[in-house]
A and B are shown apart, each in its own frame.
Chain A
Amino acid sequence: MNKILVIAEHMAGVVNTSTHKSVACALLIPDAEVDVAVLAADDKAAMHAAKLAGVKSVINVTRNEFTEFVASTAAPAIAELAANYTHVFAPSTTFGKDVLPRVAALLGVGQLSDIMIVNGSHSFVRPIYAGNALVHIDADPAKKLLATVRIASFQPVTETGDATIETANITASLPTHTRFVERSSADNAGPDLQSATRVVSGGRALGSAENFQLIYKLAKQLGAAVGASRAAVDAGYAANDLQVGQTGKIIAPDLYIAVGISGAIQHLTGIKDARTIVAINKDSEAPIFEVADIGLVGDLFTLLPELQKQLGG
């Protein structure tokens, strides 16, 4: 019997879809029982987590220290919870990437990052070199297996479950050397980039923050989330949390429209799982056309307004 603990990512009492997807991945482990751990200041997120289909129990740890999640503070608590499990999973978002390696080291074990395929209880596939190669890995079954889950590779479980909620007390002392100060989010109207079914992204070619509004307009018309290349973020046209790619977000929308983006490998890593990729670029040699399902060569400043018009805006 494999016992898997998924560490929930949540904010303001709501469990993030990355958790639903991590649970989906955990359920692919043969002969598995899946629990979800919620570290929070109150019970709200735990009640939400109890709805995730396939989850047996929610392990609820409520402490004031978890009002804001700080990896250095929470890691000893997670390491303590891990004692009863053969596997510990967390989403490969900035949340999971931050905390899970710390938990692994506290437990004296290694960790797999970004698992995308489950081939067995200790057999996985993950990408390396920005997704240009896939490694097939057999992990030592004698050791606890910690892994982050590449969320673009899994469909979220539904919220039709009814898990029991168990209260867990932590005896480990939690360090106070790392303190949360503040969080600022750009006010991104529209759907969330990581779970949107449609995404419109803009690159350096937009040329200014004002011009980047063209991307917002098209996105709004399509009910899409907005994304950006690193060059567009660096130049200040778009907020950092909109960056798509190796060091930004890895996404898997049904439709991805890349406007004025050249298609550097680091950007392509982020969109490999998109079902349909549309590229608009004035350079017919741009590498983005190698991965695009539909390519259109031309100047975005004439094409975008035309596209909007034809879509009925």
Chain B
Amino acid sequence: MSKILVCIKRVVDYNVRIRVKPDGSGVITDNVKMGINPFDEIALEEALRLKERGVASEVVVVSIGPAETQQQLRTALAMGADRALLVEHAYAIEPLTAARVFLKLVEKEAPLLVITGKQAIDDDNGQTGQMLAALWDRPQACFASKVEINGNIAKVTREVDAGLETLELDLPAVITTDLRLNEPRYVKLPEIMKAKKKPLETLTLDALGITASKQFNVTKVTPPPVKQKGVMVKDVTELVATLKQMGSL
């Protein structure tokens, strides 16, 4: 039966207000809480539901990241994934490289479906799923808010600027998730214990025959411009007066 591959990225927790290093060399990530990219948690939840509905037989979570990414993969296993693959790499890579790595894993695993997040909330690129679909020469449906699978066809509703759009895809295919697709389950303690025994295999870029290409060189990182402190008004009359004075009404 069929397999679903889910891409899980380790990122700074979405509640952390990130700060730029004073020397402009990057953002401060030391001692910052890390977690699974929220969109990827949704991707995993969707895969688990498809498995529970009998559409898939196995859910494999894959990631590219430093050794610590095992934490996020263990959480994914505790959520219900069957096994995990970690392509260990200490440095950030560009989405095209990530897509090339995932293509290798796809060739190995031959899944029916790959689900990724629509974007990783660290670099906010929003590219990897589409790039993988292109390299794999398979359909893509981005920003999914509803997924139905019927045999070899997926019907996916996507959140687009104009509203909602539905596509029909021949499987295998790549789907990227939007926020309203589902609400991920909580992990239960016994599952965390069980997850320790689930298989987690580690690979390297070298072993997969991939070199990290680099097209974009970050010269510096700066904080966004600070806004001038605003004013507080005491009532609606003052609000309207202030708006008029500022030329906004």
Contact = CB atoms under 8 A, between A and B. Distances in A.
Contacts of B243: 255, 276, 278, 294
B133 A102 contact: yes
Interface string B205-249: 000000001111111111110011011111111011011001011
A234 B96 contact: no
A13 interface: no
A106 interface: yes
Contact of A139 (B14, B215, B249): B215
Contacts of A132: 17-20, 27, 223-224
Interface in A120-162: 127-140, 143
Interface in A178-231: 178-186, 194, 230
Given A101-B126, A135-B218, A177-B170, A247 B118 contact: yes
B193 interface: no
A303 B167 contact: no
Nearest to B234: A296
A133 to B, nearest CB: 5
Nearest to B240: A310
B121 interface: yes
B139 A110 contact: no
A165 interface: no
Contacts of B124: 113-114, 127-130, 246
B95 A94 contact: no
A86 to B, nearest CB: 14
Interface string B147-166: 00000000100111111111
Contacts of B17: 132, 265
Given A93-B161, A105-B135, A278-B243, A139 B95 contact: no
B45 interface: no
Which of A105, A186, A297, A311 has the most CB atoms of chain B within a 10 A radius of its CB? A105
A129 B119 CA distance: 11
Given A98-B142, A247-B179, A111 B230 contact: no
A105 B133 CA distance: 9
B178 interface: yes
A306 B221 CA distance: 45
Given A133-B18, A295-B231, A181 B168 contact: yes
A261 interface: no
Contact of B224 (A133, A143, A234, A266): A133
Given A104-B127, A177-B138, A276-B246, A143 B215 contact: yes
Contacts of B145: 240
B159 to A, nearest CB: 5
Interface stretch (A37-45, A49-57, A69-77): A69-77
Nearest to B97: A110
B191 to A, nearest CB: 26
Nearest to B170: A177
Contacts of A266: 14
Contacts of B99: 105
B249 to A, nearest CB: 8
Contact of A182 (B161, B165, B246): B165
B233 A94 contact: no
B6 to A, nearest CB: 19
A24 interface: no
Nearest to B232: A295
A140 B94 CA distance: 13
Contact of A307 (B122, B125, B162, B240): B240
A294 B241 CA distance: 11
A221 to B, nearest CB: 11
Given A133-B221, A306-B236, A105 B179 contact: no
B180 interface: yes
A128 B127 contact: no
Interface string B92-126: 00111001000000000000000000110111111
Nearest to A75: B134
Given A102-B130, A102-B134, A133 B223 contact: yes
B7 to A, nearest CB: 14
A208 to B, nearest CB: 19
A152 to B, nearest CB: 13
A130 B237 CA distance: 35
A118 interface: no
B10 to A, nearest CB: 15
A158 B234 CA distance: 41
A292 interface: yes
B170 to A, nearest CB: 4
A272 interface: yes
5 contacts: A94-B161, A98-B140, A98-B143, A110-B215, A136-B222
Given A127-B224, A129-B121, 20 more contacts: A71-B142, A72-B169, A113-B125, A127-B124, A128-B124, A133-B222, A133-B223, A137-B218, A143-B215, A179-B167, A180-B168, A182-B165, A240-B163, A276-B246, A292-B230, A293-B228, A296-B239, A303-B236, A310-B236, A310-B237
